[in-house]
Amino acid sequence: MFSTSCHYALQAMIFIALKSDGNKNVDLTSISTELDIPKHFLSKILQMLVKHRLLNSMKGPTGGFSLKTPADKITLIKVVEIVDGLDVFNRCGIGFKECDDQNPCPIHFEFCQVREQIQEVFESKTLEQLKQDILDGKSIISPDLTEKLAK
């Protein structure tokens, strides 16, 4: 449903929320290595998030990325909106160009319900909630990374 860029943006935002703390930035190499995202591709995605004021970017030895907006104010839908646009929640589940209530594809009505539920989750979940779930052991990023974060 979402582009690879959007998936990477969501993963990176969660990682930065977990790792940046006040004056501490998270460098591009760490994000790229820990999340197994190509560095050059990730750099472009993060700059897009900087441009839209979700992230700060600092250069130099202590440089890297940090949240510009508090984690409890950033919903997942905001990241999706910046990277993929909200139109992703209006597209046909099969990919037909002409699909709506008057001209439905074979899965139109069922897919609309699921898509609306997904949109509600993305509108209601904040980075802070996801961060806390990970820190509380209720969810993980990856087993290895979650173990490192716990230390």
- Residue 21's pLDDT band, with cuts at 50, 70 and 90, is confident
Residue 116 CB burial class (10 angstroms; 0-12, 13-18, ≥19): exposed
Give the Cα separation of 89 and 60 in Å (integer): 39
User: Tens digit of pLDDT for each residue in 124-137?
Assistant: 999 999 999 999 98
**Residue 150 reports pLDDT greater than 60:** no
Considering the domain 4-150 in this protein, what is its CATH number? Answer: 1.10.10.10
pTM for this one?
A: 0.90
State how far the Cα of 121 lies from the Cα of 123, in Å rounded to an integer: 5
| pLDDT for 1 | 83
Residue matched to tokens 């992230």: 55
Give the pLDDT confidence score for residue 45 in this predicted structure.
98
CA 55, 130, 114, 94 dihedral sign is: positive
CA distances from 96 to 35, 91, 112, 117, 147 (A): 33, 8, 14, 21, 43
Instruction: Categorize the per-residue pLDDT at 94 as very low, low, confident or very high, splitting at 50, 70 and 90.
Output: very high
Position 142 scores a pLDDT of 76
